[in-house]
Amino acid sequence: MKFVEIKDLSVTELKKKRTTLSEELFQARIKNSIGQLSNPIEIRDLRRSIAKINTAIVKKVAR
């Protein structure tokens, strides 16, 4: 997910997206621990997407 796509969303949309991605990250970690995750790079991508969303939320609230 690119930051350009994220910065145009509202704060409420960003919070919903962050919640969804956090749930996906949790599921990916569980699958990875039992060996069912086919692509462990997915965990890194989810963490980075959550960080980008957190950055966008902070920038919008600071205005």
Residue 21 sits in a domain whose CATH number is 1.10.287.310
| Phi/psi of residue 36, nearest 5 degrees | -100, -10
pTM: predicted TM-score of the whole model, two decimal places:
0.91
- Can you give the pLDDT of all 63 residues of the chain as single tens digits? 788 989 899 999 999 999 999 999 999 999 999 999 999 999 999 999 999 999 999 999 997
Tokens representing 27 are 């599921």
Give the pLDDT confidence score for residue 2 in this predicted structure: 87
Supply the range of the domain harboring residue 7.
Answer: 3-62
Q: How many domains does the chain have?
A: 1
Helix/strand/coil for 1:
coil
Contact 17, 52 (CB under 8 A): no
Cα pseudo-dihedral 24, 25, 28, 34, rounded to 10: -130
